A = this chain, B = another copy of it.
Amino acid sequence: MDHHLFKSPGHDHGRCVKTAMNRAEQVCQRSGSRLTTLRRRVLELLWQNHAPLSAYELLELLVRDGRKAQPPTIYRSLEFLLECGLIHRVESLNAYIGCDQPQKEHETGFFICESCGYVAELSDSSINLSISKNAELLGFRVHKPTIEISGLCKFCTEDNDEH
């Protein structure tokens, strides 16, 4: 169960992390928010993992860097990154993951593989349209939709079927 898509031959992960960090710099520059060393590092750790990490896993990684970090340190960084739209929180995992497209406002959903941990972010899909329609029928004003579909990704499904 170690075939994270981002480790697959088709995925240049070094480049993937770099472009994510570049995007982040741009996003912060435009909005005038400060991507400090700490915040940049937290985001980088998330992208290096390219899968959800919990606050305390991130904390552990910061400590390995040699930094004297306590829970508030990491939670504050995560709060900042969330506000900038650079990361998302995965409610059903109490974990955090880098966002694909922080440039544009978007409602997002996740397909989460229970076997390998891979997460596919899906935005502006027909799902959001369905939600809007259902909300309208109820007279409900949507603020933040949380859509997290857990199951098995393509590769893990194939593995299971073979055995």
Total number of A residues with any Cβ neighbor in B under 8 Å: 34
Q: How far is the CB of A89 from chain B (nearest CB, A)?
A: 9
State the number of copies, please: 2
**Contact between A91 and B151, CB atoms less than 8 A apart:** no
- Residues of chain B with a CB closer than 8 A to A92's CB: 91, 146
Cα A146 to Cα B146 in complex, Å, equals: 7
**A157 interfacial contact with B, CB 8 Å:** yes
In this assembly, does A34 line the interface, its C-beta being within 8 Å of a C-beta of chain B?
Answer: no
Distance, CA A122 to CA B138, complexed state (A): 10
Q: Does any Cβ of B come within 8 Å of A148's Cβ? A: yes
* A145 CB contact (under 8 Å) in B130, B149, B153: B149
> By the criterion CB–CB under 8 Å, are A149 and B139 in contact?
no
A-B contact pairs, 10 of them (CB 8 A): A91-B91, A111-B138, A135-B149, A140-B152, A140-B154, A140-B157, A141-B151, A141-B152, A142-B151, A145-B150
Q: Which residues of chain A have a CB within 8 Å of any CB of chain B?
A: 91-92, 111, 113-114, 120, 122, 125-127, 129-131, 133-135, 138-154, 157
